[in-house]
Chain A
Amino acid sequence: MIAKEEWDAAYRLLLEDGRKRLGPPPTFEEAEALLHGDLAEEEAERVRERLSVYPDLLRALSEPIPSDGGNILSAEELAADLARIRERVRRTPAEATPLPFPQRGSPFRWVALAAGIVLAVAIGTLVLRQRDPQKRGMTTQVLYPEGLRRGEPTEPAITLSSSTDYMLQPVLSSRRQSRAYRFEFLDVTVSPPRRIWRRDDVPQRPDGTFMVPLATGDLEPGPYRLVLYGVDETEQPLASYGVRLLAR
């Protein structure tokens, strides 16, 4: 009889074999498309096979979210985590007014504080924008890469306003490094998309993001796409980021 431990050991070897044969796990976008039934059967089978040798990733897709966290965090830990989130939020371009931070209290007080911080950020942004409507400001906007499912973006496009210019901060989640990076900004209202500008040799920051200025004054309202290319011996697109410019 084959012992359970032997099955387990064989299973671990099979995972290693499978990973060597099938390569890296599918991207989240591929896995999500599989779950939504959006892939052609042949492609779906390939994604399933690759996922099956990464059971922890399968669990990340299917593990039920607990209805509540129970007592996983003490009130102090919750407060500390909220303080860290607050600190990160404060680093966003619109500066929040610092709020007093009580040392003890129920978790819901921290929720209320978080709400206050977010509200302060929102109000601060509004006030800054209304203070001098003639002067064009510069707003930093973080962009996350969109996945493609049957050619359609899986993420809603980030909405931008034509009343301000932007310092776009696209995030590159891939760990793969390229010798150089360049960006193209495309008008996607026409087919094929029309290139509006191109920026070469854009340096990657230590946190994996880039800084790409975007002047919106001369752009027509509508959808656009920023495409990031890795430049090595050849060029290949690494990520794209959808944005929609509104006329205001």
Chain B
Amino acid sequence: MAVDPAGQFEELFKYYPAVVALLTRLGFAREDARDLAQQVFLRVYEHMDTYRGESKWSYLEKVTRRLAYNALRDRHAAKREGIPVATDEILELPDPGEPADVLLESKQTVERVRHAVAQLSPSDQTSVRMQLAGFSYEEIATQLGITISALKSRLNVARERLRDLLKEEPEGWGDLDDR
């Protein structure tokens, strides 16, 4: 069956605002999102000959995710080539007006958590990092290719190990369980 590139492009362009919306959700500034969305549609246009009208949304989604992913990856590459960030700059602890001893104690706690997590197995670290990043159980399980119950089991093991390493209940992390 002959493909009508103009018609296909017209169908796809209806989704342009949705693509811009997705890109802003992914952290792109509004103007950057618009520029990237234009690249998405330009690329779609250039590849209309490979599009067979099977699923407009999935076709567009694939192109969008690819370009967004590569743009974010480029940002990381640019950061790596830049000036390394000092540890103290990463430690954006609350209320710098707190007394020095409180801040010091807080920094020490952060270091204890950091070292405790670093002692978990690589796969447990991966799960813990993803949970700390704010992903839901479902999202993490999908990314890890395991069931939600297997993920919960893995996180429980990690939590017990952290409790041993920290010598206290790893609270403050538990409120993620509600997601």
Contact = CB atoms under 8 A, between A and B. Distances in A.
Contacts of A233: none
B113 A10 contact: yes
Interface in B6-61: 6-7, 9-10, 13-22, 24-27, 34, 37-38, 41-43, 45-46, 48-50, 57, 61
A52 to B, nearest CB: 4
A69 B21 contact: yes
B123 interface: yes
Interface residues of A, number: 78
Contacts of B143: 35, 48, 51, 58, 61-62
Contacts of A52: 125-126, 129-130, 133
Interface stretch (A116-124, A183-191, A194-202): A116-124
Interface of B: 5-7, 9-10, 13-22, 24-27, 34, 37-38, 41-43, 45-46, 48-50, 57, 61, 64-66, 68-70, 72-74, 76-78, 80, 85, 87, 90-94, 106, 109-111, 113-114, 117-118, 122-123, 125-126, 129-130, 132-135, 139, 142-145, 166, 168-173, 175
Interface of A: 1-19, 24-25, 27-28, 31, 34-35, 37, 44-45, 48-49, 51-63, 65-70, 72-73, 77-78, 81-82, 84-85, 88-89, 92, 107, 110-112, 114-116, 118-119, 122, 142, 144, 156, 158-159, 173, 175
7 contacts: A2-B172, A6-B106, A7-B113, A35-B143, A54-B72, A77-B34, A115-B10
